[in-house]
A and B are shown apart, each in its own frame.
Chain A
Amino acid sequence: MSLLKLQNVSKVYQQGQIQVQALKDIQLEVQEGEFLALVGPSGSGKTTLLNIIGGLDDSSTGSVILNNIELTCLKESELSDFRLFQLGFIFQAYNLVPVLSALENVELVTLLQGRPAKECRERAEHYLNLVGLKAMKDRRPSALSGGQQQRVAVARALAAEPRLVLADEPTANLDSENATALLDIMHRLSHEEKTTFIFSTHDQRVMERAERIVSLRDGQIYQDQVKGE
């Protein structure tokens, strides 16, 4: 079943007098439960594409339909609600709210969703347990390593029960051991929770675990490879 459909998506940035074509005529369809990697060199448009899918940026042309919702038709406030209820985000760095503990960071999104406080607490503890951080639930981000912070971000993304998790180079700042551990967790949870993952990367280890690899170059998809096909 198709979860995400991008049709003729283009993005042009105006930099002073110069127009920069970040994305050109992107056509992409993602099925529910996929573990998809967007790969390509720096400047190929990976982050721009993730931002457009996540409703953080708008496309210049084309349409983005996620879970039967046309993003380009949504108002600013509707986009906020859309992100809250449909998406989970994991960023490269600065992923957590520094003044909240790991547990509170995970709770935050579920609380915003209006779930009862008790349920939020239980869900947060459950997902922190899944990423192996239950013992560190009361620590602030500054007291966690980069890898641990990213695992909290994964727990936060999944605790909200999103349809789609977008991860922008989640392992870029991690050492090999932490990167592998994080990927294992994301991969396992994507299957256990039946959550769709799209992540951008140029990390070979991430690509190895992806079930589908979409390669971008100069803002265009030049290869779309499903492993095992």
Chain B
Amino acid sequence: MNAHSHLPFVMLVRLAWRNLWRYPRRTIITLSSIALGFGLAVFSIGLGDGSHNSMIRNAIKLGNGHITIQLEGYQQAPANHKFLAQGILAQMQLEQLLPQDVIAPRVSLQVLASTAANSLGTAMISVQGEHDPLVGILIPMLQQGQWLEEEDERGVWIGSGMARRLKLKLGGKLVIMAGTQSGDTQAQLARVRGIYHSGVDEVDNFLVVSHLNLGQKFLVTEGGVDSAEPMTSLAIYLTEPSQLIEKQQHIQSVFSGQAIEVLTWQQVMPELVQFIAIDDAGNYVFLLLILVMVTFGIINTVLMSVLERTREFGLLRALGLSRKQLMLLVMVESLLLSVVSLGAGWLVGGGAHWWFSHHGIDMASLMEGGNAMMGTFMDSTIYTELSADRVWQLSAIVFATTLASGLYPAYKAARVPPVEALRT
């Protein structure tokens, strides 16, 4: 015999679709539970991504940008004598290379801040001006004072925690001291021009912000030349963060052969990356629970429907439907159930995501214990975020799960011997 059975696609889908709706109430209950579960997972992951991205954005602003350029070895063992001696040259090169992005020169130092009342080991970050994104994020947090005047080389901003510890008020004096590579100590006098409160202890207690000039005075003592604008790093803030790796590689190629490191924010803040990965894992556990629900929902619906139709399968087999076609039919039923559920799930979860991505969720009441972690902070209003990758990832996971859930019922249907099925 050369002729073979051929189940046309239209008839296959028609049969599967109508089989699915044979018991509409049961299908609707299963579909709703899958859609609701999936919708919740979409919303929850959107909220998780929104929170993480808020933390990342703030960490990037508070830290050293999306990409950091610094002297080789600085990341492993930061020290005040490791700086870019020809800072201005590097800055000009970068400004030419990345005209759309913000290039912020920085001097970051480990210093001792002292007053008559107390001394505190702190970090001091010196920036070029109020255009620096670090200043931009601190300005709304300013409790007292204002941004430094252009010629104010001694002015500094300190955090509320440091002000309390050093018993400093606006206009108060403090001495900034730093050790040199040769073992000596150098000191500069500074005056408090602003006190901010970020809510992040690491920032409020241990960060002094000044004009670039003040930081560069310490680097000159370490051998830097004033006219070459020495700096410890150049922070790059990308207008298109999705081009991170591409731009990193581009910059690396420009500085190749020089003792310069070009690092992404993930390389500079590995603890934050790790924290987010762990938190993401928690979200995926939630997703896993949803998938278990989806799996059992589909197995329940499709298997029940298969067991109820044993005789009908016998009839179809007697009429000439092959085992493979019967298996395919049941698989298509699972597939349709999963497609409809996913569609409804995206309507529920995607709709909630769309709303909250525009209007945000005010988390202030949940953040009474503080919104700071891992040296950064989360905005009090969280906007849900879902990347295209996430959309595909979530859909693919649930889709694959639902298809896999249909395998057992399909196998069971195909194994029914027609003669036994017809006897039932």
Contacts and interface: CB of A to CB of B under 8 A. Distances in A.
A43 interface: no
B370 to A, nearest CB: 59
Interface string A104-145: 100111011110010000000000000000000000000000
B318 A89 contact: yes
B15 interface: yes
Given A78-B1, A83-B320, A97-B316, A91 B422 contact: yes
B22 interface: yes
A113 B321 contact: no
27 contacts: A51-B419, A54-B318, A56-B317, A56-B418, A57-B419, A76-B323, A80-B5, A82-B1, A83-B319, A85-B1, A89-B319, A94-B315, A97-B15, A97-B312, A98-B312, A99-B18, A99-B22, A100-B15, A104-B14, A107-B11, A108-B319, A111-B7, A112-B6, A112-B319, A114-B5, A114-B6, A117-B10
- Counting from the closest, the 8 A-B pairs by CB-CB distance are A84-B320, A99-B18, A114-B6, A57-B419, A80-B322, A56-B419, A83-B320, A56-B418
Given A97-B15, A100-B18, A56 B6 contact: no
Interface string A59-91: 000000000010000001110111111000101
B227 to A, nearest CB: 85
Contact of A80 (B11, B14, B19, B321): B321
Interface string B319-344: 11111100000000000000000000
A112 B11 CA distance: 9
B306 to A, nearest CB: 14
Interface of A: 51, 54, 56-57, 69, 76-78, 80-85, 89, 91, 94-95, 97-100, 104, 107-109, 111-114, 117, 156
Contact of A113 (B3, B312, B315): B3
Contacts of A91: 315, 318, 422
A94 B1 contact: no
Contact of A117 (B5, B8, B15, B418): B8
Interface of B: 1, 3-8, 10-11, 14-15, 18-19, 22, 311-312, 315-324, 418-419, 422
Nearest to B318: A89
Contacts, number: 88
Contacts of B324: 77
B193 to A, nearest CB: 79
Nearest to A51: B419
A112 B311 contact: no
Contact of B19 (A51, A56, A99): A99
Max chain A C-beta neighbours (<10 A), residue from B1, B6, B10, B315: B1
A54 B319 CA distance: 10
Given A76-B323, A77-B322, A95-B315, 13 more contacts: A80-B321, A80-B322, A81-B4, A83-B319, A84-B5, A98-B22, A98-B312, A100-B14, A107-B11, A109-B320, A113-B320, A114-B4, A117-B10
Contacts of B418: 56
Contacts of B14: 100, 104
A94 B272 CA distance: 65
Nearest to A80: B322
A170 to B, nearest CB: 14
B213 to A, nearest CB: 82
Contacts of A114: 3-6
B20 to A, nearest CB: 9
Contacts of B323: 76-77, 80
A108 B318 contact: no
Given A80-B321, A83-B319, A85-B320, A94 B11 contact: no
